[in-house]
Chains A and B, each alone.
Chain A
Amino acid sequence: MKTLAYYTRIYFLIVSQYLKARMQYKADFWISSIGMVLQCLMGYFTLWILFHSIPALAGWRYEELVFLYAFSLLAISPASIVFDNVWSLRFHIQSGAFIRYYFKPLNMMFYYMSEMINIKALTQLAFALVILATSSISLGVRWDLPTVLALLGLLVSASLIMVGLLVLSSSAAFWIVNSYSLLNFFVRMRDYARYPMTVFTGFFRIVFTFVIPIGFVAFFPSQAILRPAEAGWEVWLTPLFGAGLFALSYLVWDRGTKAWSGTGS
Chain B
Amino acid sequence: MKRYLTVFRASMQINLAYRAHFLFLLLGNAVFIVVTWFLWKSIYAGREILNGMSFERTFTYLSLAMSVFVLLQTWVEWGMSQRIISGDIVIDLLRPLDYMGLMVSDILGFVAGNFLAIALPSFLIVVFAFGMPVPLGLNLPLCLVSLALSFIINFSIDFLVGNLGFYTESTWGISITKEVIVLSLSGALVPLQFYPEAIRRALEWLPFQAIYSAPINILTDGGMGIGAMLKTLGAQAAWAAVLVLAARAAFARASRAVTVNGG
Contacts and interface: CB of A to CB of B under 8 A. Distances in A.
Interface of A: 25, 27-28, 31-36, 38-39, 41-42, 45-46, 49-50, 52-54, 56-58, 120, 176, 178, 180-182, 184-185, 188-189, 192, 195-196, 198-201, 204
A49 B194 contact: yes
A31 B173 CA distance: 5
B249 interface: no
Contacts of B27: 185
Interface of B: 18, 20-25, 27-28, 31-32, 34-35, 38-39, 41-43, 45, 50-51, 168-170, 172-177, 180-181, 183-184, 189-190, 194-196
B24 A184 contact: yes
A28 B173 CA distance: 8
B176 A39 contact: yes
Given A181-B21, A184-B24, A49 B176 contact: no
A45 B25 contact: no
Given A185-B24, A199-B38, A199-B42, A28 B170 contact: yes
A192 B168 contact: no
Given A42-B180, A49-B194, A204-B38, 13 more contacts: A35-B174, A39-B176, A52-B196, A53-B50, A53-B51, A53-B194, A57-B42, A57-B43, A181-B24, A188-B31, A195-B35, A199-B38, A199-B39
A50 B43 contact: yes
B195 A184 contact: no
Given A31-B170, A178-B18, A184 B190 contact: no
B21 A180 contact: yes
A25 B169 contact: yes
A200 B38 contact: yes
Nearest to B169: A28
A236 to B, nearest CB: 25
16 contacts: A31-B170, A35-B177, A35-B180, A36-B173, A38-B176, A39-B176, A42-B184, A57-B43, A120-B172, A178-B18, A178-B20, A180-B21, A181-B25, A195-B35, A196-B42, A199-B42
Given A27-B170, A50-B43, A185-B28, A36 B190 contact: no
Contacts of B170: 25, 27-28, 31-32
Contacts of A198: 42
**Best-surrounded residue of A25, A49, A176 (most CB of chain B within 10 A):** A49
Contact of A54 (B22, B50, B181): B50
Contact of B34 (A45, A57, A204): A204
Contact of B172 (A35, A56, A184, A199): A35
A95 B41 CA distance: 47
A54 B38 contact: no
A38 B195 CA distance: 18
A181 B17 CA distance: 13
A94 B176 CA distance: 26
B59 to A, nearest CB: 13
A226 B20 CA distance: 41
B173 A120 contact: yes
Nearest to B24: A181
A58 B18 CA distance: 40
B173 A181 contact: no
**Best-surrounded residue of B21, B24, B50 (most CB of chain A within 10 A):** B24
Contacts of B180: 35, 38-39, 41-42
Contacts of B173: 28, 31-36, 120
B189 to A, nearest CB: 5
**Which 5 A-B pairs have CB atoms at the shortest separation, nearest pair first?**
A31-B173, A181-B24, A35-B173, A31-B170, A199-B42
Contacts of A192: 35
Contacts of B177: 31, 34-35, 38
Contact of A46 (B18, B35, B190): B190
Contact of A52 (B18, B174, B184, B194): B194
A38 to B, nearest CB: 5
Contacts of A52: 194, 196
Contacts of A35: 172-177, 180
A31 B174 contact: yes
A110 to B, nearest CB: 25
Nearest to A203: B34
A176 B20 contact: yes
Contacts of A39: 176, 180
**Best-surrounded residue of A188, A198, A204 (most CB of chain B within 10 A):** A188
B181 to A, nearest CB: 8
